Amino acid sequence: MQVILADYAGFCGGVKRAVDIALAKAAKAASGPVYALGPLVHNESLLEKLKQHGVIFVDSLKEVPSGATVLVRTHGERPEVFQEAEAKDLQVINATCVYVQKLQTLVARLIAEGQQVIIVGNRQHPEIQGVLGWGHDKPFVLQDPKELETLVLDKTKPVAVVAQTTQRLSILEAIVEKLKEIVPVVNIYNTICKATALRQEAARELAKVADVMIVIGSKTSNNTRKLAEICRSVGTKTILVESAKDLDLAQLQGVRTVGVTAGASTPDWLIKEVIGKMEENKKDVTLEAEQAPEEQAPEEQTPEETVEEHTPVEEPQTEEAEKETAEGEVSLATALPEFSVGDIVKGTVVQVSEEEALIDIGYKSEGILPRQEVILSAEQTLSDVLTAGQELEVSIKRIDKKEDKVILSRRALERKQRWEELEDAFKNGTVLTGKVKETVQAGMVIDLGAGYDGFMPGSLVDIRYIPDFSEFLGQEVSFKIIEMRKEREKIILSRKQVLEEEAEARKQEVLHSLQPGQIIRGTVKRLTNFGAFVDVGGIDGLVHISEISWQRIDSPSDVLNVGDEIEVKVTEVIPERERIGLSLRQAQPDPWTQVENKFAPGDIVEGKVTRTVDFGAFVELIPGVEGLVHISQLANYHVKQTTDVVQQGDVVKVKILDLNPEAKRISLSMREANPRPKREPQPKVQKETTSGTGLTLGDVFGDLFEEIETKE
């Protein structure tokens, strides 16, 4: 029987770091016990070992005495847990996995941006419980694409999809594909831990060639169960065990190839115990076979009896290989390799100090990576760029076989790898980021890593003109490489190109996401005599002067100022012409809807004359509502010109003659609001004249005066 251990199995860097911290802290008895908030790992054997070393596991901070040391496990916690710990004066050791921390920060940012966040994962898992506390609005949590059928989403808002760090990539992809059929904008963030992805892929590939897969880990461990699911998904018989005592060797009888993998919470010693048990069993089987007489050889089996749950395609074995298998030797991926100076090998960081790092490269002792063999910036230390559990490539610089010491280097490898990465970014137009390390009058110098600098000319820094680049010093900026020359290590960068492409992308996204009738927010960018241009997300829309206010205005500046944030209604979208029509007044209540509640025919009210015309005057009763006083209704006497009675801006009393809100018409009268008092009849006075006839003027013209008075 051949036993093969998967390339990536067992402890991940985050779990190993948490366990190492707990053991190291507990070893210092003088500092008091270490309290772990929840089980550090899903592995009973390891938890028992931690308890024996003095680690106390608690379910909440209420069980931790004030001033004690508490360890936050790799799954992370909600912000309020840290606040509670601070209130109790606890010394907190935050062992949250870096991938989980990134997920927490990302979810908080996406929610703050107004996106609808979906987390693909198990809602009951402690990692997800912790992440849910990092957003003001709770994200949706899904485990299966079918759950999308019951999810209520706002199709006018973008949806952001993230994943639990131990989630299977296939489930994330399935949910994303289904989601694209429901909402127009889906932003995908693959937050699955790299170590998890490598462990799952290694298990899948090994399961394809193994007859049986042994998965070591707790049945309560989420990532261990997923490993088992992956192995079974390729049709291979899979056995899940928590330790060597759970392994039933009878299940391996007649098996030629056994694959072994382990969850992230499984320590190396448990893996070795399981493999050791299989190795001892092989020796016993070989011994029995040697002692048994030839005539007791097993009889030939029928084809039905030889069928396995999974039959891999195997390469023909050499005579030597067949002999080794017959003798029962175990083939492990962890067999000690032979190294030569100059070889490039993969390793895992075990320990980091100020002067050196110890790297596990599969040798009998850890390789030594001196500080001088790593490219660091002036303010960096080894611990800034290397962490326990991190996987990286190193080159063999020197081998001391007498002391079993291997000296490693990263310098040349880092520079070579970095130049290749920069070349790929140049060819593919990839957007990169880097810190501005120096500013000069002509532009900026950007640190590209591994000792490479890029230059960004002033004309390529921004879309707008920037007279002084010192504001960017020490900042991280995004850019594209637009020119490279290897012989001179010349690299020219452009931030302007990135900004232009981002602006164009936002513009196109807005153009294709806006629909007439939507109410959106925008910022006034420019005022003209015919309207206002409003930025609605990277593109300007026009609010015509007639759509600015329900009131009559002479200029957009009567209502708006550049920089105002306003709500507008989308009235028209023409993507091919990049044209967006907006209305400010339609985003507000129509004042004509209030007319019937405020006024009735016969009411006498005050209003302001907004304009005069040949046939009368328009009077504003409330903002946005005007009525017409016809010229015949201006006064109790004949009026030749409207301006003989009223001027624009006058406040006058009017009587409502007729009200028609549907047609937006109101008829008004100033004459009836200010009726002329009736004259009292006056006694007639006869005056004598010196005329010889003896008649007075009243006698002659009296009827005429009465007629004129009556007409008036």
Packing angle of the helix pair 13-27, 98-112 (nearest 10 deg): 110
> Can you tell me the distance from the alpha carbon of 368 to that of 381, in angstroms, rounded to the nearest whole number?
16
Question: How are strands ordered across the β-sheet holding 212-216?
Answer: 2-5, 257-262, 212-216, 237-241
Place of tokens 């005069």: 612
- Please provide the DSSP assignment of 377-434 as one string: -TT--HHHH--TT-EEEEEEEEEETTTTEEEEE-HHHHHHHHHHHHHHHHHHT--EEE
Strand 237-241 to 212-216 pairing = parallel
Q: How many CA atoms lie within 13 A of 159 on its CB side?
A: 25
Is position 294 annotated as part of the catalytic site?
no
φ/ψ bin of 68: left (φ > 0), alpha (ψ from -120 to 50), beta (otherwise): beta
10 Å Cβ neighbour count for 234? Answer: 18
Residue 613: CB atoms within 10 A of its CB come to 10
Length of the chain, in residues: 712
Cα separation, 14 vs 165, whole angstroms: 12
d(CA 480, CA 488): 19
The answer to whether residues 453 and 437 touch, using CB atoms and an 8 Å cutoff, is yes
Residues 6+ away with beta carbon under 8 Å from 278 = 1, 3, 247, 249, 252, 258, 330
Give all strands (DSSP E) within 281-380, no chain letters.
344-352, 356-360, 367-370
Pull the structure tokens for residue 144.
Answer: 């299966």
Where does residue 449 fall: left (phi above 0), alpha (psi -120 to 50 degrees), or beta otherwise? left
Q: Quote the crossing angle between the two packed helices 13-27 and 44-52, to the nearest 10°.
A: 20
CA-to-CA dists, residue 495 to 444, 467, 505, angstroms: 11, 16, 15
**Secondary structure (3-state) at 190:** coil
DSSP structure string for 66-99: TT-EEEE-TT---HHHHHHHHHTT-EEEE---HH
Catalytic residue among 127, 356, 366, 626: 127
Residues contacting residue 448 through CB under 8 Å, at least 6 positions apart? 418, 422, 432, 434, 454, 491
User: Catalytic residue positions?
Assistant: 127
